[in-house]
Structure 1
């Protein structure tokens, strides 16, 4: 069966696999370049995202846009999505069963976009995608290759808004992402 955005969107909009579907205003699938070489993955929609149906539109999203611009990237170059497509109440961490209910949608997105680089934004994305025992403060900025993807984790923009001391390491991670992107382009990968 051929994969398509229409199939993904239809499945997400009609999804009732977990309790988050009962509370959502909008499903938040993703935004950006659907042929991007870099895919950023956060944890889940916040209040503004739930209202608009678009990921990373609140203050954390505005900071992410600035982070991208600082390394000469934009939404024309990347795709942005989340582990869960519906907002957890009170912006709590998504529960394991909620993440599990949404993972096939994310896998479907990965299969259609087929990015070269996956950037996990924060602990939830890193523990879901890289390893359940991933420690964001100790392991962020380290590259992992898996299934043809170059994967790295950095701090979630919302963490940077709460703790200024994380901005320098996040800046270093963004520079490393840009460097890897340029290296892969040079190699014709």
Structure 2
């Protein structure tokens, strides 16, 4: 089997026709969104079952750092989008600069999140502290792994700055942004 065997033929995968990048990336994105949706749903149901336990857990979180991380990650998505535009216009050096900025902001997100984790652990929070922290670390840790994977994907596609590859890689990166924009209010703000 070759890569060509997985390319859509005329009439196939019409649902993906208008999406940027490779259709197989969108299969991955939709499956990842389903997993994150299930995790966020489980978090919300658990909060409904134990509102006081979740309120106590939220008191140990730092919504200021999480808000800063939201700004960092959304800005990285903007930089990646600028990289796509530059790639489409054939400005490879500009594409590489924009994607490098997106990766650097992704690294800043990781550093801020790890700093936040250190503060929470120092306050006595851990995976087995409560249902809140089990779900919190599972959800945010899974997202953090996706940030690292997204940074890796961006690093791979920036080398050639091929418009199709850049669109494919940044599609994944935007999924990572979207998921955090959902995690932030559900975990940190909703009481």
**Would the TM-score normalized by the shorter structure come out above 0.5?**
no
TM-score normalised according to structure 2 size = 0.26
Name the structure with the higher helix share. Answer: 2
TM-score normalised according to structure 1 size = 0.27
Query: Which structure is larger by alpha-carbon Rg, 1 or 2?
Result: 2
Name the structure with the higher strand share. Answer: 1
